Amino acid sequence: MSLLEAYLNQELTWTPAQRNDDGTPKKDGSGRVLYGEDQTIKGLLNDRFQMIRDATGKEVVSSGSVKTLAAVEIEDKINGRVVIGRNIHKDFDGQGEGRTVYLK
């Protein structure tokens, strides 16, 4: 068990966006993102406002962040809140070791 896993003590609802082959989210005819089935993941939710840069580089306000080991991506939802940014953490070998995602 990694040190991060010991702190991921909350059960969160992750709703992944359906993805195209290139990784972009699938959208319906009106431009809304299509979502898959809810999944329960372990994480640590922190409700704190902060300025971040979104996927386009624009400064936006995040209303919270989640640390998790799940492969959460931008446009997914956690507890019904849309993910607007993410950082992937790497260990000393360059392997993925969790991520921090920022919520709208």
Q: What letter represents residue 96's amino acid?
A: G
Least confident of 15-29, 47-61, 86-100: 86-100
pLDDT digits (tens, 9 = 90+) for 42-53: 999 999 999 999
Confidence at 90, pLDDT banded by 50, 70, 90? confident
Ramachandran angles phi, psi of 66, nearest 5°: -130, 130
Phi-psi category of residue 19: left, alpha or beta, with phi > 0 → left and psi -120 to 50 → alpha: beta
Q: How confident is the model at residue 13 (pLDDT cuts 50, 70, 90)?
A: very high
- Which CATH code is given to the segment(s) 3-103? 2.40.10
For the chain, the domains span 3-103
Q: How many other CB atoms sit within 10 Å of the CB of residue 71?
A: 13
